Amino acid sequence: MTKPIHIIGGGMAGSEAAWQIATAGLPVILHEMRPNVETFAHQTQDFAELVCSNSFRSDDHEANAVGLLHWEMRAANSLIMEMGDEHALPAGSALAVDRDAFSAGVSKRILAHENITIERGEISEIPSDDWGQTIIATGPLTSQSLANSILENTDQASLAFFDAIAPIIHADSIDMSKAWMQSRYDKGDTEEERTAYLNCPMDEQQYNDFIDALLAAEKTEFKDWEKDTPYFDGCLPIEVMAERGRETLRWGPMKPVGLTNPHQPGIKAHAVVQLRRDNALGTLFNIVGFQTKMKYGEQTRVLRTIPGLEEAEFARLGGIHRNTFINSPLLLDDQMRLKSRPNIRFAGQITGVEGYVESAAMGLLAGRLAVAQAQGRDIETPRNTTAMGALITHITGGADAKTFQPMNVNFGLFPPVENIKGGRRNRKERYKAYTDRAKADWSDWLQQGA
């Protein structure tokens, strides 16, 4: 008899992984701790419960990266997308779902599938190899004992309990007639290292206006349950630094030292905002040390006052939340397996993707890779020209392990399409080229027996 594949966690990722494996004809044991052990956010014992909003975001598969991910998942027989479509609510170009009917629909299918066995109860440590293949999909609210076991099996620096996300910007939306590439004191052994940073200068007036805007901007509050998990001083939001004193940022992330502006070599900047390459492709830059709890609309407004960022397009905005995730670029191979324990795969938000759809997508991929492994087939992960492949490539290698923070899908993770112009004006044409290429490559991957 074929050995079952174990999945820990019946959320967005675990449910999708279970479905993919079961429909491929293999047995699955799905372990879910609810209702025996609760999280502060889940309210039911249903599978794939949506803990907050009811939106799967844009459904536009021609011009939006998450819409493209929907498309790829639908093409791969995704249960999450099928139930999302079945229980969709009117929401313009977005896909919003009736949350109770959606989770009930997923649960009904999972419970009815003859290849899926449900075991209710917390799994408190990483299972031994006797279990065979296991997928850990316990999400941002992984139980404490399992989190401790993950820590023991990896190391202290490889598991985070908070994300501290600095805004990330598409490189081609930065005005290089004002910004310039240079690392502080020209540090770095290679040309690539010496130009890994991008700098935006401010004069005294611009700095003071920026601090005023920062202090006045509307912020989101920590939820009660987040207040118990303190974040480190090294992750202080910029507005908190500004509240500590008007000069604090100038002595911190905005210090102007070790840099010369080639556009105005004779003028010393009063402050400098630095951005660092965020992916190997060089298409994304994060604003160094700029984690923030400003509301999203306020972030774009305030950050676009920075010289060079007036037209900035944000791949993702900043935030600080309670979130359990592993350092995937360090720990996982490109098949989503622990490098040190190839029987253990991770999937969902715990891998450092963010959002319902991205988490379910990583469940889909983990499920299919587990099936291939069980059948002794060697399959490559999808190309990074697809939404699925762009995400997996980012978290298992494209992102820098030293600064790894959760990511949602966006076109900055895709390699550029040749002969298509950058810039804001050509965006529509460029995104269509990305999605056409992705659809062809994803269909190929599925056809090759993935």
Residues that constitute the known binding site for FAD? 9-14
Piece of 76-84, 272-280, 353-361, 424-432 that binds ligand FAD (CB under 6 A): 353-361
Tokens for 391, please give them: 């995400």
- Residues belonging to the binding site are 9-14
Task: Provide the angle, in degrees to the nearest 10, between the axes of the packed helices 296-303 and 204-216.
Answer: 170
Locate 432 and state its tokens. Answer: 């269509």
Q: How far is the CB of 323 from ligand FAD (least distance, A)?
A: 7
Q: Going residue by residue from 81 to 100, which x/- string records binding to ligand FAD, judged by CB under 6 A?
A: --------------------
Among 5, 7, 12, 303, binds ligand FAD (CB under 6 A): 12
Contact residue for ligand FAD among 349, 373, 384, 405 (CB under 6 A):
349
137 binds ligand FAD (CB under 6 A): yes
Residue from 116, 49, 129 nearest 359 by CA: 49
The string over 424-445, giving b where at least 16 C-beta atoms fall within 10 Å of a residue's C-beta and e elsewhere, is eeebeebbebbbebbbebbeeb
Binding ligand FAD by CB under 6 A: which of 30, 65, 123, 171? 123
Which residue in the set 28, 30, 33, 407 belongs to the binding site for ligand FAD (CB under 6 A)?
33
Of the chain, the end-to-end C-alpha distance in Å amounts to 23
HSE value, Cβ hemisphere, 13 Å, CA-based, for 19 = 30
- What H or E segment, with its residue span, contains residue 55? strand 55-58
Residues numbered 36-55 forming contacts with ligand FAD, rule: CB under 6 A? 39, 41-42, 51-53
Q: For residue 75, with 0-12 CB atoms within 10 Å meaning exposed, 13-18 middle and 19 or more buried, which class applies?
A: middle
- Map the footprint of ligand FAD across residues 357-376, applying CB under 6 A: 359
User: Which strand (E) or helix (H) includes residue 191?
Assistant: helix 191-194
CA distance 33 to 36: 6
Q: Using the rule CB under 6 A, which residue among 4, 84, 105, 139 binds ligand FAD?
A: 139
> Do the beta carbons of residue 337 and residue 344 sit within 8 Å?
yes
**Taking Cα atoms as reference points, which of 355, 357, 276, 316 lies closest to residue 81?**
357
User: Binding to ligand FAD by residue 31, rule CB under 6 A?
Assistant: yes
For ligand FAD, the closer of residues 94 and 181 by Cβ is: 94
Least Å distance, CB 266 to ligand FAD, is 49
Q: Cβ 76 to ligand FAD, closest distance in Å? A: 17
Q: Which amino acid is at 14?
A: G
Q: Does 141 contact ligand FAD by CB under 6 A? A: yes
> For ligand FAD, which residue of 4, 22, 30, 32 counts as binding (CB under 6 A)?
32
In the complex, residue closest to ligand FAD by CB = 11
Given the complex with ligand FAD, which of 52 and 112 has the nearer CB atom? 52
Nearer to ligand FAD, 179 or 326 (CB): 326
Report the nearest approach of ligand FAD to the CB of residue 28 (Å).
14
Nearest distance from residue 61's CB to ligand FAD, in Å?
18
Find the part of the chain contacting ligand FAD (CB under 6 A) among 5-13, 19-27, 205-213, 239-247.
5-13
Q: What's the longest Cα–Cα distance across the chain?
A: 76
Q: How far is Cα 224 from Cα 237, in angstroms, rounded to an integer? A: 18
143 binds ligand FAD (CB under 6 A): yes
Q: Which is nearer to ligand FAD, 275 or 331 (CB)?
A: 331
Cis amide leading into 201 (omega within 30): no
CA–CA separation, 117 and 45 (whole Å): 16
Burial class (CB in 10 A: 0-12, 13-18, 19+), 150: buried
In the numeric block, which tokens belong to residue 100? 């109770």
Among 20, 133, 138, 182, the residue binding ligand FAD under the rule CB under 6 A is: 138
Containing 319, the helix (H) or strand (E) segment is strand 319-326
**50-79 residues near ligand FAD, rule: CB under 6 A:** 51-53
CB of 231 to ligand FAD, least distance (A): 15
Nearer to ligand FAD, 180 or 231 (CB): 231
Residue 376 Cα distances to 303, 339, 372, 379, 443, angstroms? 50, 18, 6, 9, 22
- Interface residues with ligand FAD (CB under 6 A) are 8-14, 31-34, 39, 41-42, 51-53, 122-123, 137-143, 146, 348-350, 355-356, 359
